[in-house]
Structure 1
Amino acid sequence: MKGVLLALAFLLELAMLAAAGWWGFTLDAGWPVRVLAGIGVPLLLAVVWGVFCSPRAGVALPVPAKAAVQAACFLVGGALLALAGRPGLGAVLVALFAVDKALLTVAYHDPV
């Protein structure tokens, strides 16, 4: 079961990045701004995740701080989906992250 939860966590991380890209490419702006936002914001989120949240993160944070950064990244992803006109999908993304994180933490004492 842990493998399934970890796989879901990875898929949710990809969905978060896709949500940020979707928001950027749906902005009501010129194509250069849409391309910059559609590529730049997911890239920024990926860098933050890689530096602070990945299993091989460059900066080792205490567990509560790491959880806060992860939650903030997913809240940004959910908010960007809402801004792109998909508030329901944004809420589902955040809720699935919260449930998956809670199950991993409670059942396996894994603060991934």
Structure 2
Amino acid sequence: MSTASTPLGWVVVGVRFLLEMCVLLALGYWGYETGTGGLRYVLAVAAPLAAAVVWGAVVAPKAAFSVPPAVRLVVSLVVFAAAAGALYAVDRPVLAVAFAAVVVVDTALVYVLGLD
């Protein structure tokens, strides 16, 4: 039985998916709170869209570009860090730190369990 098909594997992968969705929400929230007038709507859409494009191009399981695992790890951490930074920038420091902590633990489990 592979690690991915164990209950722990499912939980780790499920948390990873939820973290990816939180990235989109955090960046959209940042864009809306940071922008003014019509720009807030542009940023609320463009920021998460940019993250999704980068994620899909490099990090996703069926990514458009095949890159070494170390590059995938760095890019994923940069995207997650951008989301944590966005939360911090809109005066949500506790949420930013909690998000970053869950990212670190989940990312470590993904690599320790070989789920990448």
Shorter-normalised TM-score: what interval? over 0.9
Instruction: Return 5+ residue gaps in structure 1 as ranges.
Output: none
Paired residues, number: 109
Question: Which residue number corresponds to residue 81 of structure 1?
Answer: 87
| Whole-angstrom distance in 1 between the partners of 2:23 and 2:99 | 7
Overall identity of the aligned pairs, in %: 31
CA contact (8 A) 2:24 2:51 kept: yes
**2:105 aligned residue (99, 103, 106):** 99
Report the alpha carbon displacement of residue 28 of structure 1 after superposing the two structures with TM: 5.1
What TM-score does the superposition give when structure 2 sets the normalisation length? Answer: 0.90
Match of 1:68 in 2: 74
Which moved further from structure 2: 19-28 or 55-64?
19-28
Q: Please, what TM-score do these two structures have when normalized by structure 1?
A: 0.93
Q: Tell me the CA shift for residue 95 of structure 1.
A: 1.3
Residue 12 of structure 2 is matched in structure 1 by 5
> Does structure 2 retain, via aligned residues, the 8 Å contact 1:16–1:93?
no
User: Counterparts of 2:45 and 2:34 in 1: how far apart (Å)?
Assistant: 12
